[in-house]
Structure 1
């Protein structure tokens, strides 16, 4: 696959350096004026300009270097004029590191019957007040410019699952046309612009999408249309071939994924960046990630457990509170419980990513992955 996207007339304020490889896995570094992001990286999701239950200093303390903001929701509420009144999204939410914003495409298309797709873009009823609203590539690029995003995502259509080849082709081709318009609308904006590979579960369409994006030229590439209801083996099938076809000199981002096991499998196949609401959402529901799997803190047998949640974890929660206390907070519905749970889950994810980075750097990824699955009592899945 060529790298035409590296020959762009404007200057991008993001740079990517590939530091080491171990098999298909990559250890890299993204550099922005606002800070460095070591890859493979996991980005906590701050949908409404906040990672739920977390102060910015707490997010930073987990080891997160970059977060994700939601263009669609921030555009509707509070609106870009409010945010611009503070400077940009960094100033509004007091997060000093880099921010990636999604384009709003996934949220628009998740509205189902509430939206109407045309070549120009999408018209839909606002989930906030029911008002008729329009968003297309140009609008999405302007909103993300107003937010001051460090990484901007193109406006695309997330191919539904299941989708036969004809449906997936029409969707993918529309996304390519919108990708061209997104690139033009992005203009001289020095923020990084990422293309999104679509095509459903069809390898020929995924390859055509990637070729089309390469011809347009982007600063990084994302894999979209996964974790949308497909079986795990279907996702892995796409990851077995797609990351390796992407340009080696650009970051690769797997959108909306996922469980710790999904991060490991993505990294093994050459993915550099991830985001998902799972660690924060699961934390609020009392599902806590530990090395052996998932601990459900609301289960009654934790009531008298005076041990730390995870003795191998160095987060504020594990260093200060017992499982019994976390169980008590959960049973009482205390907001502190969700906050402490979220601190732990996000730290668990960051420790996992740090371990993966170190293993790639040392050339010991296979042993790291074997140990990861052994702690869960699972065999290591084969690489395709």
Structure 2
């Protein structure tokens, strides 16, 4: 089934962060969303830069533009005239974008909204939303410059083997191997003598069938091999290490203590393994304790907020006033994957970050629970 494309043209400046201390300012031209079976599977951002800025992108390998992923270039860029770059959002960040946008226009406006927010100033784990504004969160697909004699530029490996294809449930090894073979064919045609081209093309086509078997085995077995024989707690530890979260192991418990900083505050989190039950539970502990004389209002606020929630819920301890948000999953008869943990963790911290201002408003501004929710949700 052919993909449906929704394109939104917008002429704005966007400031992106990177590993250096100097943000990169780009001039956006369009954002498009690709849908398959009514589900959004890819987000692309196209923008223009000057030759000077492109030189920086090329030198610093921004947008994952490493030498080994660049196909040959059909000419040379002129020292004047904008250079157009097309990128695609890394698939693991697409759910974060789609929680705040369902159309291309909404996605573009959400990126512009994030661009206006204060950026994290500490080395602690930043909110996931800030990653959408990182150059490394986008993969370069192609770089072009319109010149008097035509278009000059090059594609990258990701244009042949798009990450959305790799991560799609219906991805086949034939599609993956075809993308790899096409990329190397273009590379060899530009870099090898004609006599060598035919032999190389035959060789690449020959290894396509071998790669098919390799991909089938890798995609079906790799993660299962890694996690199937691990304890829940070990899998949790490995996940947070891979995400570069700092944590402390609580002695004699299968629990980690972590710190998260969102847009609206900072709080402690706990990641807990229940080995016998084959369950993983994640908690965000609200940094504010409900005072005794306002606990009834907090309880009403939480009850109203919880109604309709699917992936988690707020909990309130009337005894000491502790407020927390809980997400969890039972994997009995199955395995706990990094993808499941990521969904549980980031959905959790985003909900705490979203509703924390409402709790603050009830306690400090004397808003009613309904007024506090309306202030957050809009109606």
TM-score, length of structure 1 as denominator length: 0.23
Structure with higher Rg: it is 2
Give the number of the structure with larger relative contact order, counting CA–CA contacts within 8 Å between residues 6 or more apart: 1
* Greater strand fraction, Structure 1 or Structure 2: 2
TM-score, length of structure 2 as denominator length: 0.23
